[in-house]
Amino acid sequence: MRPQSAAPTNVVRFPGPRATASTNRDQKGLLDTVYTNGSFVVAADDRETKMIASRLQVFGFLNIAEIRMDGSVRSLRPSEAATASLTRPWRLSRPSFDELPPLAG
């Protein structure tokens, strides 16, 4: 049996509660929502969700479409999504793997 040592004296606890939100958890929650429902509409002024979605689009996890005033949608490229304005809402959807070209071989 090992003898128990005293607690280290060089450890300082910072006051206040720990942060409960994590970027990884937010990304996972957004992906879970989109993949479960098939699509998700993001409000025009929701900057934080749009930034998370644009990062996920770069890696191919989401498709982003801008919803216009007349109700039509326009797909955004990753470069457009990263710099998009907060004037229009977005529709996030799962990528369609049927649109991928067949593998050569």
Q: What is the pTM of this model?
A: 0.69
Percent of the chain with pLDDT over 90: 51
Look at residue 15 and tell me if it is in a domain: no
- Write out the residue range of the structural domain in which residue 45 sits: 39-96
Look at residue 48 and tell me if it is in a domain: yes
Count of the separate structural domains present in the chain: 1
Look at residue 57 and tell me if it is in a domain: yes
Q: Which residue has the higher pLDDT, 4 or 38?
A: 38
| pLDDT tens digits, one per residue of 12-36 | 666 776 655 554 568 999 999 999 9
Look at residue 2 and tell me if it is in a domain: no
Sign of the four-CA dihedral 75, 85, 93, 97: positive
Q: Are 7 and 35 in contact (CB under 8 A)?
A: no
Beta bridge partners of 75: 65
* Report for 7-16, 22-31, 75-84: range of highest mean pLDDT: 75-84
Look at residue 85 and tell me if it is in a domain: yes
